[in-house]
Amino acid sequence: DAGVIQSPRHEVTEMGQEVTLRCKPISGHNSLFWYRQTMMRGLELLIYFNNNVPIDDSGMPEDRFSAKMPNASFSTLKIQPSEPRDSAVYFCASSMPSTQYFGPGTRLTVL
């Protein structure tokens, strides 16, 4: 099994640009999670899906962030417009059920 796959691994963009992060969960897992890791706040849950349906998006910082899961094998996290304070490592994880398996993360830098 390839594990959770995230792309890109690194993204450098300028303030105001749209950023799209991608995730492919482990086949058969029915829950998918997006996290953000920063030095100040550690690992924050942004949103999670169960059976492709968003269950809780209360961790999404603001309307500039949106996430979709059009099918069981793909999810996106979009930031539009991006800001320097969005710079962080973004992780996707999948589970079935309790133990989550994380992808390698996307390191986002917004200049």
- The answer to the question of residue 93 lying near other proteins (CB under 8 A) is yes
- The answer to the question of residue 25 lying near other proteins (CB under 8 A) is no
DSSP assignment of 18-87 = -EEEEEEPPTT--EEEEEEEETTTEEEEEEEEETTEEEE-TT--STTEEEEEEETTEEEEEESS--GGG-
What would the x/- binding string for other proteins be over residues 2 to 21, using CB under 8 A? --x-----------------
Question: Cis omega (within 30 of 0) on the bond before 70?
Answer: no
- Whole-number minimum distance, CB 16 to other proteins, in Å? 27
Among 35, 79, 94, 108, indicate the residue that binds other proteins (CB under 8 A): 35
Rule CB under 8 A: which residues touch other proteins? 4, 31, 33, 35, 41-43, 45, 48, 50, 55-56, 91, 93, 97-105
